[in-house]
Amino acid sequence: MLTKRIIPCLDIKDGRTVKGVNFVDLRDAGDPVELAAIYAQEGADELVFLDISATEEKRKTLAELVYHVAETINIPFTVGGGISSVEDVDILLKNGADKVSINSSAVKRPELINELVAKFGSQCIVVAIDAKQIDEQWKVHLVGGKVPTEMDLFEWAKEVEQRGAGEILFTSMDHDGTKNGFANEALAKLSKLVNIPIIASGGAGSIPHFADTFKEGKADAALAASVFHFKEIEIKDLKNELKEEGIPVRI
């Protein structure tokens, strides 16, 4: 049976992890490769690296990081953050990334999705969507959720699917950082609307939140950062409890 995926997300700046991590067994808390290896060992199903650096050397630094991650870990990983061209994606995939996620660049020029799918296949193209509820309507936001647009989350998700994306990573800006649970209502609606996998993001604070997003939110995967980095939730405990709840997970 296909299992629900647990995905730790690592924020990267200039080749280093950004948010503090609370791993006593980590020799270098800022080394993404070492952290990735630990997550893989602890039972993470997949990893996401989100690059937030804005330097000119960004492309080269990220490619090098991807190369070292691919060299080290034996589970799949996605790379996102500022990817805006076929060439960007080509470099990351050649260095060993399994998937890339695009966000603002796809909103600005939706044909980019078609171009990437035609060249690399749907299986490696994830479209990340950040959205926030404004006057009862979910509006797509850009630049890490800072800039609102007039686009409707559900219309955009449908278009993203039609253009060939393999997966949607939906972050609710209303839930992100609150630790009050995922946006399950919107997630369930998304899951019903499109027939590609949905990764839930934003709001993870406790183990029951994950169970809820799989049960009520119908999510195919759940992504979180700080609860894993600060060891508030251990992946092993999380998976054991999900299994007890009757949710299929890889243990």
Partner 1 sequence: MKLVIIDYGAGNIQSIKFAIQRLGFEAVLSHDAEEIRQADKVIFPGVGEASSAMAKLRDTGLDKLIPTLKQPVLGICLGMQLMCKSSEEGNTKGLGIFDLDVVKFPNTVKVPQIGWNQITELQSDLFKGIPENSYIYLVHSFYSPKGEDTIAQSDYALPYSAALQKDNFYGVQFHPEKSSEVGSTILENFLTVI
Cα–Cα dist 127/8, whole Å:
17
220 contacts partner 1 (rule: CB under 8 A): yes
The reply on whether position 246 binds partner 1 by CB under 8 A is no
Q: Would you say 21 or 196 has its CB closer to partner 1?
A: 196
Cα separation, 63 vs 32, whole angstroms = 13
Q: Is 212 a catalytic residue?
A: no
Distance, in Å, from the CA atom of 227 to the CA atom of 200, rounded to the nearest integer, reads 15
Is 176 labeled as catalytic in the residue annotation?
no
Q: Given the complex with partner 1, which of 95 and 103 has the nearer CB atom?
A: 95
Q: Which of 45, 51, 88, 130 is catalytic?
A: 130
3-class DSSP string for 170-230: EEECCCCCCCCCCCHHHHHHHHHHCCCCEEEECCCCCHHHHHHHHHCCCCCEEEECHHHHC
Place of tokens 């995922």: 182
Q: Least distance from C-beta 47 to partner 1, angstroms?
A: 11
Give whichever of 19 and 250 is closer to partner 1, judged by the CB atom.
Answer: 250
Residue type, 35: L
Least CB distance to partner 1 at residue 188 (A): 14
Strand, coil or helix: 63: helix
Q: Over the range 114-126, which residues count as b (16 or more CB within 10 Å of their CB) and which as e?
A: ebbbeebebebbb
Pick one of 84, 122, 149, 240: the residue that binds partner 1 (CB under 8 A): 122
Asked whether position 231 contacts partner 1 by CB under 8 A, the answer is no
221 binds partner 1, rule: CB under 8 A: yes
- Distance separating alpha carbons of residues 10 and 205, to the nearest angstrom: 17
Which x/- pattern, by CB under 8 A, does the window 176-215 give for partner 1? Answer: -------------------xxx------------------
Write out the residues near partner 1 by the rule CB under 8 A: 1-5, 40, 45-46, 67, 70-71, 74-76, 93-98, 118, 120-124, 166-167, 195-197, 220-221, 250
Question: What are the residue numbers of the active site?
Answer: 11, 130
